[in-house]
């Protein structure tokens, strides 16, 4: 099997959009692609793909925790003219504890980030290059759902199932949809249901089905703008090699692809199976945290 470095070198987008580029494959979402995507809104249906941000989330603790919600003011004990009262609150959370974008400074190897920026750009105060706010105009456009779990006739794919290009092609063919330049690809594994049916964050985070390294060429050749999944790390884990998160390494560092993780596709997938429409307008703006390597999101699909 090829090493992830070989795959990354063959599919590298470094310099494709200039030496100073900090957006990567979202550059594929051009004005004409956006206009065409807007025409996909036909029925007015809206689907919310974000999971709840709260103490009941999927983080078992350790490096990441579920959001902590604190009330700073409840309105009690206030005595303003006219009976006015107000409440205020705070959230303390990792930026990548629930539905999220992985930014282009989130993962690197061999001391280099996407487009050749040195990894030293990332420090205790955040990142000076490839911060998530470089995607501030939003990641929006034509979305396509490929429902691999439904293709296989299961509620969710088994732990460590490696999705192949053949799986992606078969799903697209059966669903009557194509994937092309500038598309935002949604890959349903069903893995979100492992958490929603069991409530066991440790089981959900113990591993997952997801795409394999062979899908990198497929994504590169089709000029996919971003990829999202209902698992927590896009790729199958434990992985195909002994390397840590090799698909992350190649997609983020070499292709410059932003990754959307821990989304909920269940309502959308059921609707797509019902009406046979697997393309739609997708929008998931980042929150403009300066120097951050990721962002919470609440993606919306419009059909």
Domain positions in the chain are: 4-65+95-302
Strand, helix or coil for residue 19:
coil
For residues 102 and 100, give the distance between their C-alpha atoms in angstroms, rounded to a whole number: 6
Please tell me the class of the 4-65+95-302 domain.
Answer: alpha beta
Helix H segments across 152-302?
165-175, 192-198, 201-205, 215-221, 246-248, 266-275
For residues 113 and 85, give the distance between their C-alpha atoms in angstroms, rounded to a whole number: 49
For residues 198 and 22, give the distance between their C-alpha atoms in angstroms, rounded to a whole number: 40
For residues 60 and 204, give the distance between their C-alpha atoms in angstroms, rounded to a whole number: 9
Strand, helix or coil for residue 36:
helix
Give the chain's length: 303
pTM to 2 decimal places: 0.97
For residues 257 and 111, give the distance between their C-alpha atoms in angstroms, rounded to a whole number: 18
> Could you report the average pLDDT of every consecutive run of 10 residues in the chain (303 residues)?
95 98 98 98 98 96 93 97 97 96 98 98 98 96 98 97 98 98 98 96 96 98 98 96 97 98 98 98 98 98 98
The predicted structure's pLDDT at residue 182: 98
The predicted structure's pLDDT at residue 63: 87
Task: Write the CB contacts of 204 (distance below 8 Å, at least 6 apart in sequence).
Answer: 58, 191, 194, 195, 198, 232
Under 8 Å between Cβ of 295 and 55: no
Tokens standing for residue 122: 């990332």
């Amino acid at each position: 099997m090829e090493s992830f470095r070989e795959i990354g070198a063959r599919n590298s987008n470094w310099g494709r959009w200039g030496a100073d580029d900090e957006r990567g494959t979202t550059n594929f979402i051009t004005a004409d692609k956006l206009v065409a995507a807007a025409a996909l809104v036909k029925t007015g249906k809206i689907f919310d793909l974000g999971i709840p941000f709260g103490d009941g989330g999927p983080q078992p603790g350790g490096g990441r925790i579920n959001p902590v919600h604190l009330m700073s003011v409840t309105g009690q004990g206030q005595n303003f003219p006219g009976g006015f009262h107000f409440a205020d609150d705070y959230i303390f959370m990792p930026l990548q504890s629930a539905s999220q974008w992985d930014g282009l400074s989130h993962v690197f190897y061999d001391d280099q980030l996407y487009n050749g920026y040195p990894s030293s750009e990332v420090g205790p105060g955040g990142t000076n290059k490839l911060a998530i706010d470089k995607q501030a105009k939003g990641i929006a456009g034509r979305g396509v759902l490929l429902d691999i779990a439904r293709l296989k006739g299961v509620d969710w794919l088994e732990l460590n199932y490696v999705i192949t290009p053949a799986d992606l092609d078969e799903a697209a063919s059966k669903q009557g949809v194509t994937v092309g330049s500038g598309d935002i690809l949604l890959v349903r594994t069903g893995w979100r249901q492992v958490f929603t049916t069991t409530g066991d964050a440790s089981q959900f985070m113990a591993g997952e089905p997801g795409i394999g390294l062979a899908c990198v060429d497929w994504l590169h050749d089709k000029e996919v703008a971003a990829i999202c999944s209902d698992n927590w790390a896009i790729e199958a884990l434990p992985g195909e090699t002994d390397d840590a998160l090799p698909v992350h390494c190649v997609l983020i560092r070499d292709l410059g692809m932003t990754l959307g993780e821990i989304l909920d596709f269940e309502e959308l997938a059921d609707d797509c199976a019902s009406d046979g429409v697997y393309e739609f307008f997708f929008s998931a703006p980042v929150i403009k945290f300066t120097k951050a390597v990721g962002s919470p999101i609440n993606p919306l699909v419009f059909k």
